[in-house]
Structure 1
């Protein structure tokens, strides 16, 4: 249930076929209700009565602060916030005194399915019929370039891309190459292979299959080796994820033979990608999504809500595994330095601090070592009940992401997520500030309801900030790009006059 507490008014607001307010005559009755509500929520979520023993069983002794936030060590949130505010490279995030100003709007050639933002000259709109190239500018993306049609006689149409729209795209090799992964069929997430698209020639140069030890396997997601690896001109590897697999694929063919789809007479069998590193888990991990840090560490979200952290050296054993709060994690992102994670669930975002102090007094993050028991409680980002109701009962959060940086010393300043026709933006520094007004007099995990909404006239496909280098001097953030099926819009953050 979407419920917001207002302690100073002894009131709770909630959504149930409308927005309702429940007000209590005494503070005692208000507090008793909150305790009972939290206990019932725990029991409904985990199937156990909300006793200390059962909370220990669900969360483990290292994560009791997640069940009892009042005893959690939140000092890491404050320490990280201090270092952020002192960083010379960090501008002030968007606040109430600033506006989101629409700069550009472009109509799409076909229904946009995904958005591939570049950090160099171009970005790409992947639609039902093909790929539209657009130009990157300091105030957003616009200006149509080439359009490559999936079914118009190009090498794309001679591959099976003509029959299935790619749902996942990945820029590589200094953004001169794009990987396109299509699902096996309608309502299926998995894929048996992908296509390598050469951006400079507008052709698919290779069609690859996923396989290991002579057996065809599937993948449900792919991502770059690290936050900035799409800018590496020599990069040939990327990461893959399936329900119970985490691996690194290498596009360098072990036999030195590369398929040429431009040659329509080629009858060569589709080459298999080289499994370079990884692990196939026996069962039960139910991986859903993943992301990488600046150094290539990996964070993975699961169906049971768990979030696992893997170091750059091993994909077999997670260094840290955060327990689930009961909702599947459908998307995950991580900051460049690996200190912060944002996970997306249907009804809220979960922000996790991975920083801890080891037994020698050294500050590390959870990708580098086991975090022990001094672990900060997460914070939740939610819509208030009215906005949740306006978003619609069938609309869910998807694809929450930090603003985009690819170098040390730069700081992510915002989190953006999509729900229905809303693009929702949180000030990340505000989220980390323990004295923030949202957190006062709250019981349970701290929840932040302070955000900006950009409303579109159609359901939003994706909302993302452009690369940090496109942040101009009079703006605290790079432009925000919002794609709906039929158009893409760019917004800059400007000071009110």
Structure 2
């Protein structure tokens, strides 16, 4: 964090300064001592310090509707008169409760505050009241066993739970040496790989390849990058723009003519000199691309990279009816490196598998309807937002309500495991190659979920293949320290992902995400094997051990290079893109 003071550093110093006043720490039978309120004062340079706002703070929760609502509904606020704090109790508090240090840090009115309690009893009592108030404001019912069971089903003992016995345990304990052996993000060095002029098209994404090339997306244009052994990419000085098929049109299939015309034909005719894709997926040994456009969700463009043009424009159809698809993903982790024609498609209430070959197994070069292989259309309520696959083709799907669904590779008709969320929409999701871990990105935190568990008969199991229920490890939140939330100006997390590997016998080492003008990197091995004393939103254990790197512009994409380009299996390399620059970190 440079010159910035972290919560740990400053409040540990505060703890030391208060030793004489607080020792011996009052036990449950000694309720004496005062609660102190600290305020974080940020400076224009980005530095900041904690100042004592009150040596005798009296925090309380109150119901703002108590005197005016005949319906009996409540709406809880947190008030601390001594610090002029009066804030609605919701996820925007971004609180972190540290039981060991007897303190809670939170956001209120654009400022960060910290309460330090005189003894463990007061700290835990406040934490339980806060958890209950958050639960009621989120769900409109009291936080009891029945309410949690109705909302969270098998996970009622985990989310917003009053039982903290399991919260501080490591998620994994069988490879504790791995965290120390792995290289740490702090040791990465950074160098510029490419700069563009301000008046040129902005960079808006990176398409990473495991072969020789990667592709920098710049509106309608793709710049070709070369992978470099030892970590990093370099500009090849080659660019291309994809154009529609010769003739500018698409030939309708027989089934299409029976309905309302060809969405593919309309799409192809609409673009003369190219288009800006909303999603790009490498395929067929990374010699081709599948592309979606934001203007027409009913079609897929299939491009030949070497030819630099679209060779087919397909309609997404089921039973001769065009259907919308907003997201596509590889059938399994290594599919883009192989001659594989199937891929997954996702819409708000639909998950399905498509094939660009016809039913005879022939790749269709003539623009027709894609072959619908399998899937399920939900009537309503799923609100899917994103998906990712493992090495064996397990599928993890995120949703607008924060729910995570796990599907096996054989069927997409029913999730084997459904993990309730905390209400925040999942904007990106990733799965480790072995399918043992899922990473879900939301605006204010990343959630790490372990999918392996021991079933009731003592057998090792996986949530992708059988119902995990509440038998798995407690999920963990990855988030910023509250004062870093000020430094990043409240920016949202984006595109969280694991290290990129596509073969067994290796292990993902790091996690990375973008956050405004910053990239955030966690040591994955350390996170999953270390305990924590911090509790965040939903009563979940929270990790705030990361490396924050700033850029002059907003980070638009961050991605790991394929692990095969690293000389040391314990290391990793990534590429960070801003609108006008590209950086290598290795």
Do they superpose with TM above 0.5? yes
Are 1:46 and 1:326, in contact at CA under 8 Å, matched by a contact in 2? no
Give the one of 218, 223, 233 matched to 1:141: 233
Tell me the distance in 1 between the aligned counterparts of 2:128 and 2:170: 27
Tell me the distance in 2 between the aligned counterparts of 1:372 and 1:58: 13
Q: Provide the residue aligned with 2:560 in structure 1.
A: 465
Give the one of 380, 384, 390 matched to 1:287: 384
Report whether the alignment pairs 1:480 with 2:574: yes
Report whether the alignment pairs 1:379 with 2:476: yes
User: Alpha-carbon deviation of 1:468?
Assistant: 0.8
User: Alpha-carbon deviation of 1:140?
Assistant: 0.6
Tell me the distance in 2 between the aligned counterparts of 1:143 and 1:84: 39
Report whether the alignment pairs 1:178 with 2:289: yes
Tell me the distance in 1 between the aligned counterparts of 2:211 and 2:401: 37
Give the one of 94, 104, 111 matched to 2:192: 104
1:317-466 correspondence to structure 2 within 5 Å = 317-393=414-490, 395-435=491-531, 439-440=532-533, 442=535, 444-466=539-561
Partner SS, residue 286 of structure 2 = coil
Are 2:244 and 2:272, in contact at CA under 8 Å, matched by a contact in 1? no
Partner SS, residue 66 of structure 1 = coil
Q: Provide the residue aligned with 2:329 in structure 1.
A: 223
**Cα deviation digits, residues 432-473 of structure 1 (max 9, x gap):** 1243xxx12647311001100121111111111111112223
Q: Provide the residue aligned with 2:218 in structure 1.
A: 127
Are 2:352 and 2:374, in contact at CA under 8 Å, matched by a contact in 1? yes
Give the structure-2-normalised TM-score: 0.74
Tell me the distance in 1 between the aligned counterparts of 2:374 and 2:277: 25
User: Alpha-carbon deviation of 1:324?
Assistant: 1.1
Cα distance 1:99–1:149, how it changes in 2: closer, same or farther (>3 A)? same
Give the one of 147, 156, 163 matched to 1:54: 147
Tell me the distance in 1 between the aligned counterparts of 2:341 and 2:520: 35
User: Alpha-carbon deviation of 1:390?
Assistant: 2.0
Cα distance 1:360–1:36, how it changes in 2: closer, same or farther (>3 A)? closer
**Cα deviation digits, residues 341-364 of structure 1 (max 9, x gap):** 010111111100111112332212
Tell me the distance in 1 between the aligned counterparts of 2:237 and 2:246: 17
Give the one of 359, 363, 371 matched to 1:274: 371
Q: Provide the residue aligned with 2:354 in structure 1.
A: 249
Q: Provide the residue aligned with 1:21 in structure 2.
A: 113
Cα distance 1:18–1:282, how it changes in 2: closer, same or farther (>3 A)? closer
Q: Provide the residue aligned with 1:207 in structure 2.
A: 313
Tell me the distance in 1 between the aligned counterparts of 2:394 and 2:224: 31
**Cα deviation digits, residues 310-367 of structure 1 (max 9, x gap):** 0111111110000111211111111011110010111111100111112332212101
1:309-320 correspondence to structure 2 within 5 Å = 309-320=406-417
Cα distance 1:105–1:19, how it changes in 2: closer, same or farther (>3 A)? farther
User: Alpha-carbon deviation of 1:152?
Assistant: 11
Cα distance 1:357–1:9, how it changes in 2: closer, same or farther (>3 A)? closer
Give the one of 395, 398, 401 matched to 1:298: 395
Cα distance 1:448–1:441, how it changes in 2: closer, same or farther (>3 A)? closer
**Cα deviation digits, residues 26-81 of structure 1 (max 9, x gap):** 224333222111111111222222122211221114542233362549878224xx
Cα distance 1:406–1:43, how it changes in 2: closer, same or farther (>3 A)? same
Report whether the alignment pairs 1:94 with 2:184: yes
Instruction: Give the alignment's Cα RMSD to 1 decimal.
Output: 2.6
User: Alpha-carbon deviation of 1:372?
Assistant: 4.0
Cα distance 1:205–1:61, how it changes in 2: closer, same or farther (>3 A)? closer
Tell me the distance in 1 between the aligned counterparts of 2:136 and 2:356: 48
Are 1:480 and 1:491, in contact at CA under 8 Å, matched by a contact in 2? yes
Cα distance 1:227–1:37, how it changes in 2: closer, same or farther (>3 A)? same
Tell me the distance in 1 between the aligned counterparts of 2:101 and 2:464: 42
- Tell me which of the two structures has the higher relative contact order, counting C-alpha pairs closer than 8 angstroms and 6 or more residues apart: 1
Q: Provide the residue aligned with 1:495 in structure 2.
A: none
Give the structure-1-normalised TM-score: 0.87
Q: Provide the residue aligned with 1:39 in structure 2.
A: 132
Tell me the distance in 2 between the aligned counterparts of 1:125 and 1:312: 31
Tell me the distance in 2 between the aligned counterparts of 1:487 and 1:173: 29
User: Alpha-carbon deviation of 1:17?
Assistant: 4.1
The number of residue pairs the alignment matches comes to 466
Q: Which has the larger radius of gyration?
A: 2
Tell me the distance in 1 between the aligned counterparts of 2:272 and 2:409: 33
Tell me the distance in 2 between the aligned counterparts of 1:112 and 1:209: 29
Tell me the distance in 2 between the aligned counterparts of 1:342 and 1:212: 31
Are 1:63 and 1:375, in contact at CA under 8 Å, matched by a contact in 2? no
Q: Provide the residue aligned with 1:264 in structure 2.
A: none
Are 1:84 and 1:411, in contact at CA under 8 Å, matched by a contact in 2? no
Cα distance 1:160–1:259, how it changes in 2: closer, same or farther (>3 A)? farther
Cα distance 1:25–1:467, how it changes in 2: closer, same or farther (>3 A)? closer
